Amino acid sequence: MTGGFDPKPRLQDIADRAGVSLATVSKVLNGRTDVAARTRGRVEALLQASGYASRPRVVESQMIELVFHELDSEWTIEIIRGAQEAAAARGLSLILTRSGDRHTPDPQWIEGVLRRRPLGVVLVFSDIRGADKEKLRSRGVNFVVVDPAGEPDPDVVSIGATNWSGGYAAAQHLISLGHRRIAVIGGPEDMLCSVARIDGYRSALERARIGFDPSLVRYADFHVDGARRAARELLTLPDRPTAIFAGSDLQGFGVYEAARTLGIAVPKDLSVVGFDDLRPASWANPPLTTIRQPIAEMAATAVRLIADAGIVPTVAPRVDLATSLIVRESTAPLTTVEA
């Protein structure tokens, strides 16, 4: 017995009257913006007449969140610079978050980003868990991965560089200078970019009919210290390499350090090629020959996709920006090398 009390209609009743789904009514009730204006008006009128108060519509965020697993390298500064310039050009703010490892953000990160409700998220060196993807999409928060650590899922937009081509160009340059004992120091073995660079290096050797020698391959992180240790191992081999391709400029500087302590002169006794073309590469002594990857432009492209596209496509592309060889003074013909 109702005693004259007239209960509110169920949300399903309102959905039926408006000719929409229950999910659409729920979106309008919760202030979601991904509902057509005419549909929203019809549903809001029915909600109001039925005694429901919809939440204020959320004002579209003017913020993009940039998520790193580390914030301590020149590489990171280039990413921030590119993202900041692209965001500023569109009147957007940029916030930085440090979370997780090189594969995924911390599990707690997703709750924070859902509270902040940015326009979109740029994830650097990270993939993203399936459940987190769905949470972001359900709240209308787009995301793009820059330089993914692993193979991204088919529905994730990712921006990278032509790492295989870069590795090929580095080895080919050294081969063209007459080098045959060419070592490589890659980044972590579980990182997509590192594997691609070494695959490119190997392909160049094979095309030149130079045997691939596993004893000339080392792996380290992308920083100076790990590469210094790896280079010292290579440079104290009985038949040491005459050239080293380092998987990053910072690794290249580690090679410089190892060579210096062993009394090996660059490029007289050892040619060195890096990867990235960070600003310090041109300041080094000698200036470092390197493979330029457009780091700032990778980040800027990710920001522009989020800012301009409105909704990032569900069937997502992998965008690879071109790398190029920058020849400086750290490489020389083999004829000048005391092998």
Full DSSP string of 51-107: T--PPPPPPPP-EEEEEES---SHHHHHHHHHHHHHHHHTT-EEEEEE-S-SS---T
Contact yes or no for 133/157 (Cβ under 8 A): no
Position 36 scores a pLDDT of 74
In angstroms, the CA 182 to CA 175 distance is 8
**Residue 171: closest CA among 208, 220, 223, 226:** 208
Identify the helix (H) or strand (E) that includes residue 207: helix 192-207
For residue 267, whether the previous peptide bond is cis, meaning omega lies within 30 degrees of 0, is yes
Question: What pLDDT, on a 0 to 100 scale, did the predictor assign at position 126?
Answer: 66
pTM, 2 dp = 0.78
Given this model, what pLDDT does residue 2 score? 42
What would the DSSP string read from start to end of 274-314? Answer: EEE--THHHHSSSPPEEEE--HHHHHHHHHHHHHHHSS--S
| Domains of the chain as residue ranges with CATH | 1-59 (1.10.260.40), 63-161+295-321 (3.40.50.2300), 163-293+325-336 (3.40.50.2300)
Q: What is the DSSP string of 154-190?
A: TTS-EEEE-HHHHHHHHHHHHHHTT--SEEEEES-TT
Each residue's pLDDT tens digit in the chain (339 positions)? 444 434 556 777 888 888 888 778 777 766 565 667 678 778 778 877 776 655 544 445 689 999 988 777 788 899 999 999 999 998 999 999 887 776 777 878 888 888 888 888 999 866 777 788 888 887 778 889 998 877 777 778 899 999 999 999 999 999 999 999 999 999 999 888 999 999 999 999 999 999 899 999 999 999 999 999 999 999 999 999 999 999 999 999 999 999 999 999 999 999 999 999 999 999 999 999 999 999 999 999 999 988 876 544 544 578 899 999 999 999 999 974 444
- Nearest-angstrom CA–CA distance, 147 and 144: 10
- State residue 290 phi and psi, 5-degree precision: -155, 170
**What pLDDT is attached to residue 161?**
95
